[in-house]
Each structure stands twice: as structure tokens, then as C-alpha cells.
Amino acid sequence: MSKSIVLVTGAGTGIGHLSVKALALAGHTVYASMRDIDGRNAAKVRELRDWAFANGADVRAVELDVLSQASADAAVATIVAERGRLDVVVHNAGHLVIGPTEAYTPEEISKVFDTNFLGTQRVNKAVLPVMRGQRQGLVLWVSSSTTRGGFPPFLGPYAAAKAAMDSIAVTMAYELARFNIETSIVVPGAFTAGTDHFANAGKPADAATSAAYAAYDGLMDQVGARLTELMPPEADPAAVAADIARIVGLPHGTRPFRSITDFVDDGVTAVTEVAERVRVEFAERIGIADLLRPSGARVD
């Protein structure tokens, strides 16, 4: 297996943090990106550095705020200056919000999209010129089973932003194929433990409108409890990180377009089987089947 230079966004916690470790243990050089690495996230950087030293792994922290194009550009420039290339970007950065959709202002929803959707575009604007110049690369997107599976209410803005990200990932897969840039979409299902996803979830500022939904009080706790009951003992978000490391380690051109880690069976697998068949058949019907896989030789 060839070793890659990998950039992981949102590496401070959760699946991003776990993915950094899984990728590094597999022998890759991993740039763990997060905001304020010299300030509020300095402790996380120290923990990763100590872990890497103890495990003989190559992990490097890099400052990257997905809300800033200048920050994304600087992060990628640092990686290329140090390593001469960038082989993989893992679009993981995101933020969960929970609350009645009506209670969110358009400006609040725009901020959700800014982090979960537009952030990937800023990173791509920095990464893709490098990969196109290399004539090779992998763009790996961490999506969500909410885009095709069942999910409860009160996740409206988050689910919408994830659906937008998933959609643009599919579109860009076609647009990048002739540059020999591969696309994989990793789809985690629900996890009730192992991340701070729900503990750190944002809420709408409009408390009065939220209170008007008192008829739903306790619903999310009820859903969480039921999901916990449905989770098998082996359900762990580390399984998503392991899948990401597995995909990155596969030979170029052989990676799955979409890979699902769903311990609850929320329907995303069944829907994806149909959707992927339709996607492939339609591409063949309109004469763009060559765009279903990366093409072209790497220029060294």
C-alpha cells in the first residue's frame, strides 16, 4: 500500500479525530486541521502530538478554519511546501444543530450551511488546483445517513446542509474524473456515544418559538434512548474512521464511490442501492459512463 499525504478537516473531535489516528496508524502522513491550534485547541494538538510520538506515527497539526478561504489556502500551501504534494482531503468538518426549524432565522441557517457545506467549497478551492496539477488525488467526503435514510425531526438545517454537501460531492465526482481525481463518500449512521456531536449541538436563538413546540418536549430524549437500545455492542464511531483508513489505503481507481457504516439500519443502505444503480444507468444512457471512474495517468 502506498503512503499518502492526507488533510483531515475538523480533526479536533469525533470522527475527524479518530480518522487522524486510524490513518496515521496505517502509515500515512496526516495533517490534522482545526481552528486556533495555538489557543483554545492547543491541548488537542498536544494530545495528538504525544499520541503520535508514542505510536511512531506522523501527525502534524495545521491551522484551518473552513469559514475562511485565506485560512484554507494557507493550510494547503503549508502542506505542499513541507511535503511537495497532497494526495487526499477528508471533508469532515461540521457542526450539528438541533431545534424546531421554524425557530431558526435565515441567517442562522446560513451559518449552518457555511460550516457544513460552503466550508468544503473553500477547502476544495485550495486543494483541487494542487490535485489537478498532480493529475491524481482523492476527495473523501464524510456525509450522513440523513441524506437518504430515516431521521427524526428537529435536525432540519443540519440535514439540509448535509444533503447539499452530498449532492455537490456527486456532481464534482463527474467534474474531477478526467483529472484522475477520485471521489469517495463515507456515510456514517447515527451514533449515540463516542463523539461530542450531540453534546456540543447548537440551538436556535429564538427561545420563544422553540418553547411554542412544547408538545414535542422530551421527543429527542425519547429518540436518543430508543437509538441506544437499537445500537449493537460493536457500534462505535471508530468504525467510520477505520473505513476511511481502509478506503484511503486502496489502490487508486478501485475505491468505492459510497461506503456506509450504519449499525441501526435507518434505511440508507436500501435507498443507496437503488440510487446508485439509477445514477450509473443514467450516466451510461447519456454517454458519460467514463466519468464514473477517474481517468488519466499521473504526471510525476
**Catalytic positions, please?**
158
How many Cβ atoms are within 10 Å of 259's Cβ, its own excluded?
19
The string over 42-76, giving b where at least 16 C-beta atoms fall within 10 Å of a residue's C-beta and e elsewhere, is eebbeebeebbeeeebebbbbbbbbeeeebbbbbb
Distance CA 172, CA 135 (A): 15
Which residues have a Cβ under 8 Å from the Cβ of 104 and sit 6 or more positions away?
Answer: 97, 112, 156, 157, 204, 206
Among residues 45, 23, 48, the alpha carbon closest in space to that of 35 is found at 45
Q: How many DSSP H helices and E strands does the chain contain?
A: 10, 7
Helix/strand/coil for 132: helix
